Chain A
């Protein structure tokens, strides 16, 4: 198991979504539409899920950003296919198709705690965040 392998496999999985750019770490440059993998800043890893340090949990988040542009309505239309689990661009579908092999015991894409306009630098984006727990 390695955290780098998990990031790499998630990146490869998310890249199966047509047209989506994927950053396995918080990037310096934003190229839309973009999925960003990162560990939750307030709780990145939870140790001692079982005895002897055998199992622990990585708490990931996946932020998907699309162009807000002049129309916030169009931005929502562009973002929805990533959220809708029935669509081919579904983040849930892409994550659940990843074969983690020996890098993870199991995982769960929990859901989306936030959705809306975010500002990075001086630019507004339409964004949704997914929480993903990975047991290793």
Chain B
């Protein structure tokens, strides 16, 4: 029996459009992630097919990161500041994500991709800490590898 990957060990570091080497380490703030790895499928069903037939198309994915907002420079509030800076402009560099659903230990799975942020929400409740949700659209697919 193999060893399970657990979500509590997940790992996320973002590269920013302003400076791709100025990484935002979100791991310690990270609460939830959602990475739907979608693929367009063309329906190529023809007369005589006994069921629908498909042809694979392009990768397309919209996902989200949810994390605790804090006062640390270049971490979670940095994400919001960078988002504000790229509104209504095409950035020289897109955001980049380096994500490990089970952590970043050697040989654990890694998903890397570039993306644009398309929404930021701040669902603030009096009774809880302030969190942020970033919604994104992946640019040019994903690369799946290992750390």
Contacts and interface: CB of A to CB of B under 8 A. Distances in A.
Contacts, number: 41
Interface residues of A, number: 14
Interface stretch (A29-37, A48-56, A87-95): A48-56
Contact of B67 (A50, A53, A105, A108): A50
A115 interface: no
Contact of A49 (B7, B10, B31): B31
B28 A50 contact: yes
Contact of B27 (A48, A51, A105, A135): A51
B129 interface: yes
Contacts of A50: 28-31, 67-68
A62 B70 CA distance: 27
A106 B29 contact: no
A47 B103 CA distance: 17
Contacts of B9: 51-52
B29 A54 contact: yes
Interface of A: 47-55, 105-106, 108, 110, 135
Given A52-B10, A135-B129, 18 more contacts: A49-B31, A50-B28, A50-B31, A50-B68, A51-B7, A51-B8, A51-B12, A51-B28, A51-B30, A51-B31, A52-B8, A52-B9, A52-B11, A52-B103, A54-B28, A54-B29, A55-B28, A110-B127
